[in-house]
């Protein structure tokens, strides 16, 4: 070093200082890059966890918290062991559609039939009911609160809402008015209960029973019904 001139020494010092500054800048950049990547990774993990939670661990809606609209005629059955046992329905995973298998009867007659089951006694008692009954003119009667089970869908009584539909003849086909009310009620229930689209099934899908008859024999009509509910829900809820 001794034989370096002062100018050369200064030059080398400046070079060294520049090199160190460059290194510092590089380190800073690297640290920023690592932080940014860590942040992106965290956001990504948070996003994935949120989606998984939303899809698979959705908080169920409390059925008791749902307010009934005025287009539903509420005529609750008297509590009794045969049609309104009062068993809590805590979580609803689906809607089950039925037909009354009793051509020409009205929603009111079917509701009264369920209510009169309370008067039974003895061993050959019948236990049957439904949350809702839709009549030939599209009227909707509610027989059981959404927070209690009905006796309609066998193994699925514990986690579904049931809808009985009246029909004019033995084919089991619903009138247009009944059909439209069924679409409306199903879409409303799906949205209120925060059910996924197409959570509607037939009694047939639970036990293989031919119920609702027409929509078991005509699969395409049933598929059309589900499409109609999905479209109604999209438009209104």
Where does this chain bind Zn ion (CB under 5 A)? 98, 203, 211
Q: Name the nearest CA neighbour of 165 among 104, 92, 223, 226.
A: 104
Between vectors from CA 45 to CA 41 and to CA 47, what angle results, nearest 5°?
115
User: In this complex, which beta carbon is closest to Zn ion, that of residue 129 or of residue 192?
Assistant: 129
Q: How far is the CB of 208 from Zn ion (least distance, A)?
A: 11
Alpha-carbon gap, residue 156 to 206, rounded angstroms: 7
Closest approach, Cβ 122 to Zn ion, in A, equals: 24
Beta carbon of residue 40, minimum distance to Zn ion (angstroms, whole number): 53
Q: What are phi and psi of 133, to 5 degrees?
A: -130, 130
CB of 190 to Zn ion, least distance (A): 19
> Which CB atom, from 92 or from 211, has the smaller least distance to Zn ion?
211
Nearer to Zn ion, 95 or 233 (CB): 95
Q: Which is nearer to Zn ion, 183 or 211 (CB)?
A: 211
**CB of 206 vs Zn ion, minimal distance in Å:** 8
Say how many CA atoms lie within 13 Å of 209 toward its Cβ. 17
Nearby residues of 126 by Cβ (< 8 Å), 6 or more positions away: 82, 117, 120
Nearer to Zn ion, 98 or 184 (CB): 98
Angle, vertex CA 186, rays to CA 154 and CA 142, nearest 5: 70
Alpha-carbon gap, residue 85 to 188, rounded angstroms: 25
């Amino acid at each position: 070093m001794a034989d370096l001139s002062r100018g050369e020494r200064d030059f080398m010092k400046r070079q060294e200082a520049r090199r160190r500054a460059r290194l510092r800048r590089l380190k800073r950049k690297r640290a920023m890059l690592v932080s940014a990547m860590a942040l992106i990774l965290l956001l990504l993990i948070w996003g994935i966890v949120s989606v998984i939670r939303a899809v698979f661990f959705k908080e169920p809606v409390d059925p008791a918290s749902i307010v009934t609209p005025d287009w539903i005629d509420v005529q609750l059955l008297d509590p009794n062991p045969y049609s309104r046992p009062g068993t809590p329905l805590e979580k609803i995973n689906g809607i089950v559609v039925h037909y009354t298998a009793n051509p020409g009867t009205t929603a009111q007659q079917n509701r009264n039939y369920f209510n009169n089951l309370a008067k039974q006694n003895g061993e050959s008692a019948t236990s049957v009911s439904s949350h809702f009954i839709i009549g030939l003119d599209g009227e909707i009667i509610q027989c059981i609160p959404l927070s209690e089970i009905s006796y309609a869908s066998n193994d699925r009584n514990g986690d579904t809402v049931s809808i009985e539909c009246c029909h004019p003849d033995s084919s089991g086909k619903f009138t247009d008015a009944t059909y439209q009310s069924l679409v409306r009620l199903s879409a409303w229930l799906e949205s209120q209960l925060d059910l996924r689209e197409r959570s509607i099934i037939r009694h047939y899908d639970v036990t293989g029973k031919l119920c609702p008859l027409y929509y078991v024999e005509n699969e395409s009509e049933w598929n059309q019904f589900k499409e109609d509910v999905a479209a109604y829900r999209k438009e209104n809820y």
